[in-house]
């Protein structure tokens, strides 16, 4: 069951749109840093979705509640890398993951926006949901303080592997922060499954964007 009395927030327009025919470069400001994101029109994962804006904004505004400094943070479905960059600026040891075809643009954005900063150097890795988890990310070696996921749930066939991936990485002591635009009944069905497995709290809602921000932790037996 879902607990919490969420705050109602609005996604702030803290970016300046720039338009070009092939690549859109979006300029954002978070935590006092100008972030330039190159989007690619060829892949779903290469566009900034509202969930990433919502969670970036929330982490910036709630640094006492969610202190990322020196914490190990994994982003699944990192897309353009905006959220991973924000987590990096907040002092986290970030691993940003996505599908192989998205990694080039993701790596470009992350290295470009973090190269001159005095912080932990982020890592970019391939992660196909539900595949090779025990081989590529064995639990004995990899333990994360935070798992970040934004707009990973939409009309696609990989929802069960996505849930298995969340379960794989969410160990005792790990906090999963998931922000998503809720559009389809399948989105709510996935939310129900998350609530059945994890202790789930709704932290914030962004009604204008239909985005909900949730926190999930492993149930103690």
Residue 203 · residue 55 · CB < 8 Å: no
Q: What is the pLDDT of residues 181-210, one digit of tens each?
A: 999 899 999 999 999 999 999 999 999 999
Q: pLDDT-derived band of residue 82, with 50, 70 and 90 as boundaries?
A: very high
Contact, 131 vs 102, CB < 8 A? no
Beta carbons within 8 Å of 94's beta carbon, 6+ residues apart: 73, 74, 75, 84, 87, 88, 120, 122, 123
Average pLDDT over residues 41-66: 86
Distance of CA 32 to the CA centre of its chain: 20
Residue 146 has pLDDT above 70, yes or no: yes
Q: Is 2 helix (H, G, I), strand (E, B) or coil?
A: strand
| pLDDT at position 213 | 97
22 has a pLDDT exceeding 50: no
CA 124/CA 66 separation, integer angstroms: 22
Characterize the bridge pairing of strands 25-30 and 15-16.
Answer: antiparallel
Q: Which two tokens stand for residue 91?
A: 């002092």
Residue with more model confidence, 37 or 13: 37
State residue 20's pLDDT score. 43
Contact 193, 1 (CB under 8 A): no
How much of the chain exceeds pLDDT 90, in percent? 71
Domains along the chain with CATH numbers: 45-218 (3.40.50.150)
**Got the DSSP string for 23-53?**
--EEEEEETTEEEEEE--TT-GGGS--HHHH
DSSP, residue by residue, 157-174? S-HHHHHHHHHHH--TT-
pLDDT exceeds 70 at position 43: no
């Amino acid at each position: 069951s879902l607990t919490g009395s969420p705050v109602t927030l609005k996604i702030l327009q803290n970016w300046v749109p720039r338009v070009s025919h092939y690549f859109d470069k979006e300029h954002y400001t978070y935590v006092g840093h100008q972030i330039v994101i190159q989007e690619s029109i060829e892949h779903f994962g290469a566009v900034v979705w509202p969930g990433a804006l919502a969670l970036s904004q929330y982490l910036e505004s709630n640094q006492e509640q969610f202190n990322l400094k020196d914490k190990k943070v994994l982003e699944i479905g990192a897309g353009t890398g905006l959220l991973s960059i924000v987590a990096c600026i907040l002092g986290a040891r970030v691993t940003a993951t996505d599908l192989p075809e998205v990694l080039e643009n993701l790596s470009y954005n992350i290295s470009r926006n973090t190269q001159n900063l005095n912080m932990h150097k982020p890592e970019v890795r391939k992660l196909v949901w539900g595949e090779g988890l025990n081989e590529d990310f064995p639990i004995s070696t990899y333990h994360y303080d935070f798992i970040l996921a934004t707009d990973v749930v939409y009309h696609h066939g990989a929802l069960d592997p996505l849930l298995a991936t969340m379960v794989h990485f969410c160990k005792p002591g790990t906090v999963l922060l998931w922000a998503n635009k809720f559009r389809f009944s399948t989105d709510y069905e996935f939310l129900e499954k998350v609530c059945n497995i994890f202790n789930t709290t709704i932290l914030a809602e962004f009604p204008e964007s239909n985005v909900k921000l949730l926190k999930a932790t492993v149930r103690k037996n």
